[in-house]
Structure 1
Amino acid sequence: MSTSSTAHIDPKGVEIAETILLPGDPLRAKFIAETYLDDVRQFNEVRNMLGFTGTYRGAPVSVMGTGMGIPSISLYTYELIHFFGVKNLIRVGSCGALQEGMELYDVVLAQGASTDSAYVQQFGVRGTFAPLSSFRLLEAAARAADALGQRTHVGNVLSSDVFYNADAAALDPWRRLGILAVEMESAGLFANAAAAGVDALGIFTVSDHLLTHAQTTPLERQTAFNGMVEIALELVR
C-alpha cells in the first residue's frame, strides 16, 4: 500500500521502506542516512522534516525526523503506516534517566510507555490503555545490544507532554513506580502501531540524568549516540 503524497510527506516517487528509524531531530535523520546507509535518496523535505531511504547491508531501510512530542510523532507515524505501508517503526532518541545506576550514553529499550498525555483516549477504551512495544523487535534489540556489548536497561519509560514542568516534584511518583527514563513520543507511536497491527519500538540514549544532573551537549545529542542506531539497524536485517 502506498500513496503519492500526503499533507506532510511528499516522497516524489522515492520508496519508503517497510522498516523506518524515527529520530525526533531531522538533522539526526540526515546524519544517520549519511553515516550508515548506502544508495541514499531523500524522500521528504516538507516543513524540513527530512526523510531518506537507503540500504543497510543490502536491506532497504528509511529514516525520518518526527519532531518533538506525541502530537508530532503521531501525525507522521499515522501517515507512514496508513498511507505508505510502513510496518516496523523504531524510534531512536534521547531520554532523561530517572533511576540510580544509570549513566550517560546507556541505552534504554522501551518495553512500555506510560504517559501523562490524553492521546490514547481517542481509541475509546474505558480504562487505562498501556502502550507497549513489539516484543519481536524488543527481543531482537536486546540480543543485538548484547552482541554489540552495549550497556542497556529494559523497562517502562514516561512519554510526557511537559518538558518544563511547573511542579518540580512531578516526576517523583513515576520514579517510585520504576519508570526508567522520560522522553516525549513513544506512547503515541506505540498506540498508533497497536491500533494498526504493526510493530514499534523505542530505543533511547541517556542524554541527561535527572538525579545527578549530568548531561551531554546539544551536538552530542545530534551526532554521538551511535550505540542505539547500531542496535536499531541490526533489526533491519
Structure 2
Amino acid sequence: MTTPHNSAIKGNIAETVLLPGDPLRAKFIAENFLQDVEQFNAVRNMFGYTGTYNGKRVSVMGTGMGCASIGIYSYELIHMYGVKNLIRIGSCGAYDENLKLFDIVLAIGASTDTNFAYQYDLPGTFSATASWELLSNAKKIADENGIHTVVGNIVTSDVFYHDSPDDWKRWAKMGIVAAEMESYALYCNASRAGVNALTILTVSDSIARQSETTPEQREKGFKDMMKIALELA
C-alpha cells in the first residue's frame, strides 16, 4: 500500500520514526547515524529512510513546514504504516530570554494559533500534549549524557513573518518558551490515534535575544538533539 505522499509499502517503516521538518536533515541523519539504511520515500523530495541504531530498527522522514504538511505525513505514518512513536526533531525560535542558541527544548505541550483541532468538533479548546513516556525517557537520556534541556510549553504558529512583530511577547507572558510550526498537529494526530508523540527542538534563533544560526547549522549541527532522539528510539 502506498499513499499520494509516500511510496513506501507497509513494513518498510519502523514503529518509531524521527521527524525533522527538513528532508535534508533526514538524509543527514540516515547517512551519518544509521546502519543498513534503505530509502523508502522520495515523493515530493520528502526523503524517508529506515535503518538500525544500536541494533534497533528506526526510521527517519522529513515532514515539511507547517501543520498542514506534518498533519498529512504523521496521519499516514500512523494509520497507513502502523507507526507507534513519532519524535519530531526540529528548530525553534526562543521567546524565553534565558534560552540560548543550540539549547534544547522538550515540548511538554503546544499552544497554537491554528485551527487544526476544529476538525474534531470539540465543545472547547484542546490542549495538545506530549507522550509522558517519551518525554520522561528523553529527559532521562539527556541528563545521563550531560545534555542540558528545558522542558516547557511551546506555541505552534501558522505564521512565520507576522504582521504584528511584537505578538510573541504576549505568548512569552504566558510562559511559552519558544515557537515553531508543526507540533500541535503532530500531538493532535497522535492523541486522536492513541499513539506516542514528542517534540524535541533546538533553538535556531532567539526572538528575545535577536540572534540566529545559519541554514547549514540547522541542517547538520543539531547533534545533541539527534542523539537524544536516537537513544530514545
Task: Classify the TM-score, shorter chain.
Answer: over 0.9
2:169 is the counterpart of 1:172: yes
Query: How far apart are the structure 1 equivalents of 2:94 and 2:34?
Result: 30
- The equivalent position to 1:139 in structure 2, one of 136, 140, 145, is 136
Deviation at 1:150, TM superposition (A): 1.1
Equivalent pair of 2:10/2:80 in contact (CA under 8 Å): no
2:63 is the counterpart of 1:66: yes
Partner of 2:23: 26
What count of residue pairs does the alignment treat as equivalent? Answer: 233
String of CA shifts for 1:39-85, please: whole Å, max 9, x gaps: 00000000100000000000000000000000000000000000000
Query: How far apart are the structure 1 equivalents of 2:177 and 2:75?
Result: 27
2:188 is the counterpart of 1:191: yes
Q: Which runs of 5+ in 1 are unaligned?
A: none
Q: Which amino acid aligns with 1:66?
A: T
SS of equivalent residue, structure 2 residue 80: helix
Query: How far apart are the structure 1 equivalents of 2:178 and 2:211?
Result: 14
Partner of 1:35: 32
Partner of 1:160: 157
Q: Which runs of 5+ in 2 are unaligned?
A: none
Query: How far apart are the structure 2 equivalents of 1:53 and 1:37?
Result: 8
Runs of 4+ in 1 over 2 A off after TM superposition: none
Give matches, 1:217-228, under 5 Å.
217-228=214-225
- The equivalent position to 2:73 in structure 1, one of 76, 91, 102, is 76
TM-score by length of 1: 0.97
Query: How far apart are the structure 1 equivalents of 2:103 and 2:56?
Result: 27
Query: How far apart are the structure 1 equivalents of 2:208 and 2:21?
Result: 24
Q: Which amino acid aligns with 2:92?
A: C
Aligned-CA RMSD value: 0.9
TM-score by length of 2: 0.98
Deviation at 1:38, TM superposition (A): 0.4
Deviation at 1:168, TM superposition (A): 1.4
Equivalent pair of 1:14/1:41 in contact (CA under 8 Å): no
SS of equivalent residue, structure 2 residue 160: coil
Q: Which amino acid aligns with 1:16?
A: I
String of CA shifts for 1:78-106, please: whole Å, max 9, x gaps: 00000000000000010011112111110
- The equivalent position to 2:118 in structure 1, one of 117, 121, 127, is 121
2:207 is the counterpart of 1:210: yes
2:116 is the counterpart of 1:149: no
Deviation at 1:12, TM superposition (A): 5.3
Query: How far apart are the structure 1 equivalents of 2:51 and 2:57?
Result: 6
SS of equivalent residue, structure 1 residue 84: coil
